[in-house]
Amino acid sequence: MTPKKWWIYQGPGTADERNRKLAEQRPPWRDFTPAHLSDYEYAPPPDTDTPSWRETERRGRGYVPDTEEKDAVNTALYLRRPLLVTGKPGIGKSTLAYSIAADLELGPVLHWPITSRTVLRDGLYQYDAIGRLHDANLRQLQEAPGTGGGSIEPYLRLGPLGTALLPHSRPRVLLVDELDKGDIDLPGDLLTVFEEGSFDIPELARVARHERSVRIGTHDDAQERAWVHDGRVRCRSFPVVILTSNGERDFPPPFLRRCIRLHMEPPGKEKLTQIVRQRLGLESDDGFGDLVEAFVERRKEGDLATDQLLNAVQLRMRGAWSAADEREKFLETVLQRLTGPTSV
């Protein structure tokens, strides 16, 4: 399919050309450029010679987005809004974030998995207060009176959301995974940060009179430190935010109003064939077409995840379960339904 001219993700041109286009298409109400640019130099670009970037590329390059997905992603990019992706487990919601990062060469995905105990601060930063107190006590024992001190820098580290909000020259991709598992207040707390494009670190704000600028670790690397001024982290390029939900609960209208929403349906036969060929590097569907048919048929009675089909094809390619009388047992073993009637 020919890319649409307005697309940035999966659009025409090189990644550099499309990123320049994105930077030029900034809505005035989503402009996070600070008043004093000298105070907010760009954060260091993410390292692309790392296992995390190679994993991002591996997962992202194997993804097969359809037109509806490309339209939704590009709408979110243009408007600098989070993309809320809903759908059943195992259909590729999270992998979409890796596809965006790989296609636009935006560095490793910043992954923030949500649990029932997650609060906003977990995503913003971590402060090791106990470690600092312990080290301070050691210094008091080892140093002469009046010579104590010690910077707060080593005890602070930005989380995935905090790292995404650093003043990067290109936006980072932030994956907030399974948001519906989180506390009921988390969407509203996120909304405030997404609207402002910034947040304060109280521990740094309190020492700003003595240490106006400090360098702290990031989610990418505790040793790769970024400057924070006056205790505030503020973005320059709003991050590409992908929020996933399995539909376990609804979100409040004010939150939904500020998101671009995409509901992903389970892929059909044609798309499944494309996914298998692209992920496993196959030239045709010879040798696995019957497995796609079996996958689609079994999915009618209960949910299946796409990676289960990939597992089945991989086993077929390696000659496993090759006896004629093993076919049904093979399907029951590898394509066990996630919901619906239990296979026997």
Q: What is the pLDDT of residues 126-149, one digit of tens each?
A: 998 787 787 777 766 666 544 445
Per-residue pLDDT at 140? 66
Higher pLDDT, 179 or 209: 179
The rounded distance, in Å, linking the Cα atoms of 95 and 264 is: 12
In this prediction, residue 11 carries a pLDDT of 97
Q: How confident is the model at residue 153 (pLDDT cuts 50, 70, 90)?
A: confident
Cβ partners under 8 Å of residue 13, min gap 6: 21
**Nearest one of 233, 202, 197, 195 to 215, comparing CA atoms:** 233
Residue 150 has pLDDT above 80, yes or no: no
Task: Using the predicted structure, report yes or no on whether residue 1 has a pLDDT greater than 90.
Answer: no
Q: Across residues 96-102, what is the average pLDDT?
A: 98
pLDDT single digits (tens) 284-295: 777 899 999 999
The rounded percent of the chain whose pLDDT value lies above 90 is 72
Largest CA-CA distance found in the chain, in angstroms, rounded: 82
What is the band of 39 on the pLDDT scale with cuts at 50, 70, 90?
Answer: low
Residue 28 or residue 344, greater confidence: 28
pLDDT on residue 141: 67
pTM of the model: 0.90
177 strand-pairing partners: 113
Burial 228-245 (b: 16+ CB within 10 A, else e): bbbbbbbbbbbbbbbbbb
C-alpha to C-alpha distance for 230 and 247, rounded to whole angstroms: 39
- Least trusted range by pLDDT, from 244-248, 299-303, 337-341: 337-341
DSSP bridge pairs for 83: 242, 260
Q: Give residue 38's pLDDT band: very low, low, confident or very high (50, 70, 90).
A: low
Q: Is the pLDDT of residue 226 over 80?
A: yes
For the chain, the structural domain boundaries read 15-263, 269-334
Considering the domain 15-263 in this protein, what is its CATH number? 3.40.50.300
Q: How far apart are CA 5 and CA 314, in angstroms?
A: 37
Give the pLDDT score at 145: 47
Give the tens place of pLDDT for each residue, 331-341.
Answer: 999 999 988 76
Spatial distance between the Cα atoms of 147 and 174, rounded to a whole number of angstroms: 42
CA distance 33 to 42: 11
Tell me how far CA of residue 55 lies from CA of 29, 102, 108, in angstroms. Answer: 35, 10, 8
- H-helix or E-strand containing 226? strand 226-229
- The DSSP letter of residue 166 is S
- Looking at residue 343, its pLDDT comes to 45
- pLDDT value of residue 324: 86
Tokens of 242: 């992908």
d(CA 304, CA 299): 6
Is the pLDDT assigned to residue 160 strictly greater than 50? yes
Strand, helix or coil for residue 86: strand
pLDDT digits (tens, 9 = 90+) for 317-330: 999 998 989 999 99
**In whole numbers, what is the pLDDT of the chain averaged over residues?**
90
Mean pLDDT across 90-100:
96
The pLDDT of residue 35 is above 70: no
